Amino acid sequence: MPDESPSVPSINFPDDDEGAGGGPVIRVDAPGVPVVDEPPSQSPSQQPHTPSTHRPARKLLPHNSPLTCPSCLKPIVGRTVNAMGARWHPGCFLCEGCGEHLEHVSAAEGGGRVWCFVCWSEQFAPRCYHCQTPIVEERFITLDDPALGKRVYHEQHFFCAECGDPFLDPSLADGHPYCEECHVRLRMPKCKRCRKSIRDGMEAVEALGGKWCWECFVCASCERPFEDPSYFVRDEKPFCERCFSIMVRNEV
Instruction: Please report, for the chain, the start and end positions of each structural domain, with discontinuous segments joined by +.
Output: 204-251
Beta bridge partner(s), residue 29:
140
Domain 204-251 fold is: Cysteine Rich Protein (2.10.110)
pLDDT value at position 140?
80
Backbone torsions φ then ψ of 247, nearest 5 degrees: -60, -45
Please, what's the b/e burial string for 25-60 (b: 16 or more CB within 10 A of its CB; e: otherwise)?
Answer: bbbbeebebeebeebeeeeeeeeebebeeeeeebee
- pLDDT, averaged across the chain: 72
Identify the band that residue 17 occupies on the pLDDT scale cut at 50, 70 and 90: low
Better-predicted residue by pLDDT, 174 or 242: 242
Res 76 pLDDT > 70: yes
User: Of the spans 34-38, 56-60, 88-92, 200-204, which averages the highest pLDDT?
Assistant: 88-92
- Residue 63's nearest CA partner among 88, 79, 87 is 87
Mean pLDDT value across residues 58-73: 64
Its pTM stands at 0.44
- The pLDDT of 43-55, averaged and rounded, is 38
Lowest mean pLDDT among 21-30, 62-71, 143-152: 21-30
Rounded Cα distance between 93 and 80, Å, is 9
